[in-house]
Amino acid sequence: MKVLVAEDDRELAAQIASALSDAGHAVLIAHEGREAEFLGATSTVGVAVLDLGLPGLDGVEVLRSWRTAGLTFPVLILTARDAWADKVAGFRAGADDYVLKPFRMQELVLRLAALIRRAAGHAAAEVAAGALVLDTSTGQITLEGLPIPLTDFEARLLRHLMLNKGRVVARAELAEHVYDGDSERDFRSLEVLIGRIRRKIGESRIETHRGAGYRLLPDDPS
């Protein structure tokens, strides 16, 4: 999943990005409000971590701009302010959750996992496509109860397909959610990743829809 981290404290932003990358997410970083507003509006963001105290344009204004533009991705706000009014302003602007600084990094990762899961329409922590199961709290994918040995990129791709099981996912969307901000988008490499995943989970679990994208079957192949 592509996560936008908008945080002006560069050290904290790097720590958040590292934790999210370890959890299997692709990460974009913005250190200033206008930059965050632009990246949120022009990138295929799955979820955002937004500091309210951004320079240039504060987080509430950034969030209002996104929502006014019709952008519906979940947003978790970060704030060192322990005032109820700041939380209310964030929620009124369209936030979905908040975390007060200082915070435990694992809590942030788990809260984001819950936001991503609910945004994809899944209530339970586990998302199953037959015997293929994704634990959204840990990011681990198992087949018939056994962990699947996946590379980071393979895991990102398969997680996104599982969260969108039964839907044809465009190659451009997959590329946005698999590769980090500075990585090259190469559709041929996506085809290679799909081929590798098929060999690990079964050739028939992922359908190719030519000119459209890929679809993970919601149930075990018959």
57-105 tens-digit pLDDT: 999 999 999 999 999 999 999 987 666 788 888 999 999 999 988 899 9
H/E run at residue 210: none
**C-alpha span between 167 and 119 (Å, rounded):** 15
Task: Please report the sign of the dihedral spanned by the C-alpha atoms of residue 111, residue 112, residue 116, residue 119.
Answer: positive
Q: Which domains does the chain have, with CATH numbers?
A: 2-119 (3.40.50.2300), 126-216 (1.10.10.10)
- In the DSSP assignment, the letter for residue 169 is B
Whether the ω angle into residue 102 lies within 30 degrees of 0, i.e. cis, is yes
Reference 1, options 91, 109, 99; nearest CA is 109
Angle at 148 between CA 28 and CA 190, to 5 degrees: 45
Please, are residues 156 and 189 in contact by the beta-carbon 8 Å criterion? Answer: no
pTM check: above 0.75: yes
Q: Higher model confidence: residue 97 or residue 188?
A: 97
